[in-house]
Amino acid sequence: MNVQAKTADDDALGARLYWAAADCWTIVLRGLTHYVRQPSNIAWQLGFPLVSVLLFGYVFGSAMSVPGGGDYREFLMPGMFGMTMAMGFMNTAYVVVYDSSRGVTDRFRSMPMSPSAVVTGRGVGDLIGASLDLVVLGLTALAIGWRSSGGVLDTLTAFGLLLLLRFALIWIGVLLGLLVPNEEAAGSLFAVAFPFAMISSAFVAPSLMPDWLGTIAMWNPVSATVTASRELFGNPAAVGDTWIEQHALLMSVVWPVVLTAIFLPLAVRRYQRLSR
C-alpha cells in the first residue's frame, strides 16, 4: 500500500503551481457537486431576485417612475442583476463558516494540499455560481421583455462588470465567514446585505430619495456597477448630474479594485491567523 511515493517531489516551484491549480479545481468541483446534489439551493438563491422582479416589476411597477423617462422594467432588470451579485457575498460567508465550524477547514489545513486552493477554489466556484445566476436571471429578464440594445461587446462588458463586483465581494464574504462564529450568525448577515443591495440605484434612482440617503445610495459600489451596466445595456439609467453618477463606468471598475485591495489582504491575514 505505497500511496506516498507520488507526492515525494511536491516542493519544486513548478509542482507547487501545478498543485495550486489542481487543488483549486478540486475545490471548484466540490462546489459544483453541491449545486448538483442540492438543486433546491439554486432555487433559494434565485428566489429572492425573482420575487423581487415580481414585486417591483409588477406590484409596484406601475407606481414607479424613472427620472428622465424610460420603461421601469428596463430600468429594473440591471438593478436585479446587481442586487444578486451584491448579496452573493452571503453565500461565500456561509460556506466559509460552514467549513470552519465543522472542522473541514482544519482538515484541509492539516493536509499537504496547496493552502491557497481553499480560497482560490472558493473564489472560482463562486464566480461560476454567479455566472449561472446571471444566466437564469438574464433569461427571466428576456422572458418579461427586457432587451439589451447595446452591442455584443457592450453587453458582455456589462455582465463582466457585474461579475467583477461579485469577485470583489468574495473577499468580504471570506473575511466575514472567518469572523462570525457559526452558520446562524452568517444567516443574520442578511441584515447587512439587504440594505447594502437596496440603498443603491438598483430599484429607484437616488435622485428620488431624500438628499442624505440619495448621496449614500449614489456612492454605494452597487450603484456604480448597476448604472454602468444600464448604460452598456442601453437601458434607461436615470443618471443625475453629480460627479459620481456621471462616472459610473469608471467607478464600476475602481470600486471593485479598491474593495479587493482592502479586503483580500484582510481575508488572507485572517486566514493565516487561524494558526495563531
Partner 1 sequence: MPEHAILAEGIRKNYGEKRALDGFDLAVPSGMVYGLLGPNGAGKTTAVRILTTLVRLDGGRAEVAGLDVATRPRQVRRRIGLAGQHAAVDEVLTGRQNLRMFGRLFHLGKKRAAERAEELLERFDLLDAADKGLKEYSGGMRRRLDLAASMILAPDVLFLDEPTTGLDPRGRNEVWDSVRSLVAQGTTVLLTTQYLDEADQLAGRIAVLDRGKVIADGPPESLKRLIGGDRIEVVVTDPANLSAAAAIVARVASAEPEVDTTAGRVHAPVTERVAALTEVARTLQDDGIGVEDIALRRPTLDEVFLRLTGHRAESAGEAPEKEKVKA
With binding defined as CB under 8 A, does residue 6 bind partner 1? yes
The residue written with cell numbers 428622465 in the block is: 68
Q: Please give the Cα distance from 234 to 155 (Å, whole number).
A: 9
Is residue 247 a contact residue for partner 1 (CB under 8 A)? no
Instruction: Using CB under 8 A, pick the residue from 20, 21, 26, 70 that binds partner 1.
Output: 26
Instruction: Say how far apart CA 211 and CA 88 lie, in whole Å.
Output: 28
- Which member of 33, 182, 188, 246 binds partner 1 (CB under 8 A)? 33
Our CB check for partner 1 shows the closer of 33 and 246 to be: 33
Q: Does 271 bind partner 1 (CB under 8 A)?
A: no
Using CA of residue 91, residue 268, residue 196, residue 85, what is the dihedral sign?
A: negative
Choice between 77 and 95, CB closer to partner 1: 95
116 is a site residue for partner 1 (CB under 8 A): no
Is residue 269 a contact residue for partner 1 (CB under 8 A)? no
CB 202 within 8 A of CB 52: no
| Whole-angstrom distance, CA of residue 255 vs CA of residue 240 | 19
How far apart are the C-alpha atoms of 38 and 40, rounded to whole Å? 5
Among the listed residues 17, 44, 102, 188, the single contact to partner 1 using CB under 8 A: 102
Binding-site member from 43, 51, 60, 103 for partner 1 (CB under 8 A): 103
Sign of CA dihedral 106, 271, 180, 164: negative
Q: Which of 111, 156, 213, 250 binds partner 1 (CB under 8 A)?
A: 111
List of residues 6+ apart from 242 with CB closer than 8 A: 218
Which residue in 12, 13, 14, 37 binds partner 1 (CB under 8 A)? 37
Minimum distance from residue 32 beta carbon to partner 1 (Å): 11
The C-alpha atoms of residue 85 and residue 166 are separated, in whole angstroms, by: 5
Could you give the angle at the alpha carbon of 51 between the alpha carbons of 49 and 52, nearest 5°? 60
Instruction: Identify which range of 6-14, 170-178, 182-190, 207-215 contacts partner 1 by CB under 8 A.
Output: 6-14
Cβ proximity of 125 and 32 under 8 Å: yes
By CB under 8 A, is residue 1 in contact with partner 1?
Answer: yes
Binding site for partner 1 (CB under 8 A): 1, 3-4, 6-7, 10-11, 19, 22-23, 26-27, 29-30, 33-34, 37-38, 102-104, 106-113, 117, 274-276
